[in-house]
Amino acid sequence: MAGAAGASLNMGHGRGLGRGRGTRHFHSSNLDGSTVPWRASLRHAQRSSTEQGCDLNVIALSDSNGKPLTKEVEGLSPSKTLYHVGWYTGLEMVQYCHVENPFDPQSGGEGNDNIPQATDAMCREQNALQGRMTQPTNLPIKDVNRHFLSCMDSRVGFAAIAAPGGDMGQFILGLGAAEYIIGYPFSPDDILHFFQQYIQSMGGNGDGTDGNTPIHNMNIGQGQLNSPEGKGYFNMCTDATAHAAWFAAAKIEGQSLLMQKWNPLDTAGRRRLLQKCADPEHVGDTLLKAMVTSEDGVKEWGVRKEIAQAAIRAFFAVWFDPFHPSREHLLLPVLAGEQKPMAVVNVESPETCHPLAPLVVQKLHSVTPTAGSDLLKLGGEKDGGTESGFLQVDESIHVSASKAALKAASKSSESEAGVDERTNVPDIDPIGQGTQILVHHYLAAQNYRQTLSAFFSSIFGLDQDKLLGRMEMLAKRAAKKIKAQDAAGKPHYTASFLR
């Protein structure tokens, strides 16, 4: 029975996949609220351009401050950023849409992006770089009420709805806001209780109510965890460096980072891991690390660092308990490499498709880390200019490049399963070379905070609007600081997905 429930859950919550999994977004109610058979709702979804219940055809990129776009930026240019966002859908008819001409796109002079003048009378936005998706069905779309929040980290290589700290970061901000309004500090046991209660409650309408029933009006029960109608996963990110340091400090040894020879019933080992999991050097997410490092968390983040530490321990207390009923609903992506974001992209969720939102990949893997690709990289690829072709390798260094590539391949084959020894080689990213951007689904994150505020206000008896206002203020401050820290001096864009 548990296996069948788990299979149903996985069907309802695809991890960033596009067409094929979008058909599980629909309940027995249609988009307009009318009750129709599920198959009729599915047919309606398949008639949309994305085949996922949402008509989207255009991606528009604009400056977050409303200024005209310019190519002269210290980071990723508007055109490259637009192609990054639309990498998997493909783009055509890319043009700069404007009424007043702040600069001549045809002149090719300084400050221009060399984009053809707007010829489409159906330009969706002004002062925006716009492209039509050639394959809208390749755009993954998920219900923001049912999909997990990934962290805002340029190393995330899968399509995601992203916000600072992911689910855990927003949950901690909610705890900090509630504690501020109540006026007394939460203990670690309190936070563990709140965390487990929330994980159980986010499962959806396990009691047979419709999908619009507020979370605080539901009779929360064990069966809700495996309901396909709710948020199926809770996410917290870390990175390989922090993960390795954490296991080393806890004296846990094994084959590799993700395949450790460790018995989950080892109480002593579990206790050592829980004691050290919230140390700053063992926290890999940018926001969470900043929270547990801050000397005055209330002043800097609006949250005591003890709250962040207790919330992280609560996550791992469930994570390392193989018999906990909520264990299968936790996600812990371990990110590899170094953050090198070249731009910040704030994603607007399309109003006409609410609560559906498009997923965006923050890091594109344009090169697979194989011996062949290392040979190409070390051999030197030349492009541009009249004397060089698209692919031209210097013959004089073929031999040395081949030796270096074979040496890297040999090290990789000798390493244990799941570990690529080239992660220790400077300037070689273990998951391929590609462009990196920070993505913030700020409207989807706001929708998630509404759900959190409903949960916290119900268990504490607080005014939801007051609590939500405090959470929004803390979230806006956190997002601004993380963007300034991770992408200092980089351009900020707004990406809109339109009909």
Instruction: Give the model confidence (pLDDT) of 43-71 as tens digits.
Output: 555 567 777 778 888 999 999 888 888 88
Burial of 163 (0-12, 13-18, 19+ CB in 10 A): buried
**Which residues, at least 6 apart from 23, have a Cβ–Cβ distance to it below 8 Å?**
42, 45, 46, 52
| Two structure tokens written together for 338 | 């170094």
Q: H or E segment at 356?
A: strand 356-358
Query: Does the pLDDT of residue 384 top 50, yes or no?
Result: no
pLDDT bracket for residue 364 (50, 70, 90): confident
Give the C-alpha separation, 261 to 252, whole Å: 8
Query: Does the pLDDT of residue 286 top 70, yes or no?
Result: yes
CA angle 447, 288, 310 (to 5 degrees): 95
What is the β-pairing status of strands 128-133 and 91-97? antiparallel
| Two structure tokens written together for 104 | 């001549």
| Two structure tokens written together for 357 | 């939102």
Of the listed ranges 118-127, 190-199, 315-324, 328-337, the one predicted with least confidence: 118-127
Between 446 and 98, the more confident residue is: 446
Query: Does the pLDDT of residue 421 top 60, yes or no?
Result: no
Of the listed ranges 44-53, 101-110, 182-191, 197-206, the one predicted with least confidence: 101-110
Please give the full DSSP string across 224-278, using - where no structure is assigned: GGG-TTS---EE--EEHHHHHHHHHHTT---SSSSS----TT-HHHHHHHHHHTT
Can you give the length of the chain in residues? 499
Q: What is the DSSP letter of 5?
A: H
Compute the average pLDDT of residues 300-314.
96
pLDDT bracket for residue 98 (50, 70, 90): confident
Compute the average pLDDT of residues 169-173.
97
Spatial contact of 318 and 199, defined as CB atoms under 8 Å apart: yes
Between 423 and 454, the more confident residue is: 454
pTM for the whole thing?
0.74
Spatial contact of 307 and 176, defined as CB atoms under 8 Å apart: yes
Per-residue pLDDT, 175: 97
pLDDT bracket for residue 378 (50, 70, 90): very low
Compute the average pLDDT of residues 119-146.
83
Per-residue pLDDT, 234: 95
66 sits in the region (left: phi over 0; alpha: psi -120 to 50; else beta) called: left
Compute the average pLDDT of residues 266-270.
80
CA angle 270, 274, 276 (to 5 degrees): 120
Per-residue pLDDT, 494: 94
Of the listed ranges 119-128, 275-284, 297-306, the one predicted with least confidence: 119-128
pLDDT bracket for residue 285 (50, 70, 90): very high
Question: HEC profile for 451-485?
Answer: HHHHHHHHHHCCCHHHHHHHHHHHHHHHHHHHHHH
10 Å Cβ neighbour count for 249?
Answer: 16
Compute the average pLDDT of residues 258-286.
80
Q: Which of 337, 353, 300, 318 is nearest to 432 (CA)?
A: 337
**Which residues, at least 6 apart from 137, have a Cβ–Cβ distance to it below 8 Å?**
18, 19, 49, 50, 51, 52
CA of residue 39 relative to chain centroid, distance: 31
Spatial contact of 256 and 336, defined as CB atoms under 8 Å apart: no
Spatial contact of 254 and 261, defined as CB atoms under 8 Å apart: yes
pLDDT tens string 406-416:
454 444 433 33
Q: H or E segment at 344?
A: strand 344-348
pLDDT tens string 427-482:
444 444 678 999 999 999 999 999 999 999 999 999 999 999 999 999 999 999 99
Mean pLDDT, the chain, integer:
74
Count CA atoms within 13 Å of residue 113 on its CB side.
26
Omega before residue 68 within 30° of 0, cis: no
Q: Which of 326, 324, 330, 293 is nearest to 308 (CA)?
A: 293
Spatial contact of 433 and 366, defined as CB atoms under 8 Å apart: yes
Count CA atoms within 13 Å of residue 206 on its CB side.
18
pLDDT bracket for residue 114 (50, 70, 90): low
Between 134 and 9, the more confident residue is: 134
